[in-house]
Chains A and B, each alone.
Chain A
Amino acid sequence: GAVVSQHPSRVICKSGTSVKIECRSLDFQATTMFWYRQFPKQSLMLMATSNEGSKATYEQGVEKDKFLINHASLTLSTLTVTSAHPEDSSFYICSARVTGGGNSPLHFGNGTRLTVT
């Protein structure tokens, strides 16, 4: 149980284009999902919290107009990287909890490797 699916697993795009990444909770409902970013050989950095039915909340320093988040249903959140540039190349990973509490496990998708050329 508690499977989080992410799509696509890899994407290459040209500079200036936009890319959408999907995150689905397959066997549970998630009112909240989290988007992380990971550079090579580095830790996971929380970018934003996706809230079903309301606006996403962004971490300090993360541009909300560049990283658009939509939490359209209890099982789907999307991250759109707008006007992508090479410095946006990274590993993007979504996660969700089965329940909303701080003491419940956080489950991750398998990530999306974004390469901007």
Chain B
Amino acid sequence: QQQVKQSPQSLIVQKGGISIINCAYENTAFDYFPWYQQFPGKGPALLIAIRPDVSEKKEGRFTISFNKSAKQFSLHIMDSQPGDSATYFCAVPRSNDYKLSFGAGTTVTVRA
């Protein structure tokens, strides 16, 4: 089964600051690495995903950096806003099928 290690568990950042969340995995059968954003009482929403034919992907204020040899990828939230306060999950396809295993989640709090 897939082990996905996500850190930190929580972080607090000032408005305008940078939030960085890291994810490490063991093995995967598919090259597809998404990040999900979840607000309380809601289902997770796909935020951004990367296929590691590139080492970095940017969408607006959100950037994924990928290090395939290290089996690590990270989410950077630039110019963090109070509306970014949520729980973020990384996910990795399992090594034996395409189903996603999720990290433990990181609760981000952006202070105004």
Contact = CB atoms under 8 A, between A and B. Distances in A.
A and B co-occur in one complex: yes
A87 to B, nearest CB: 21
Contact of B51 (A103, A106, A109): A103
Given A102-B93, A108-B43, A44 B51 contact: no
Q: Is the interface of B mostly helix, strand, loop or mixed?
A: loop
Contacts of B41: 111, 113
A30 B71 CA distance: 31
Given A43-B102, A101-B98, A102-B98, A107 B93 contact: no
A105 B49 contact: yes
A43 B2 CA distance: 14
A55 to B, nearest CB: 16
Interface of A: 4, 6, 34, 41-46, 49, 93, 95, 101-111, 113
Interface of B: 29-32, 34, 36, 41-46, 49, 51, 89, 91, 93, 97-105, 107
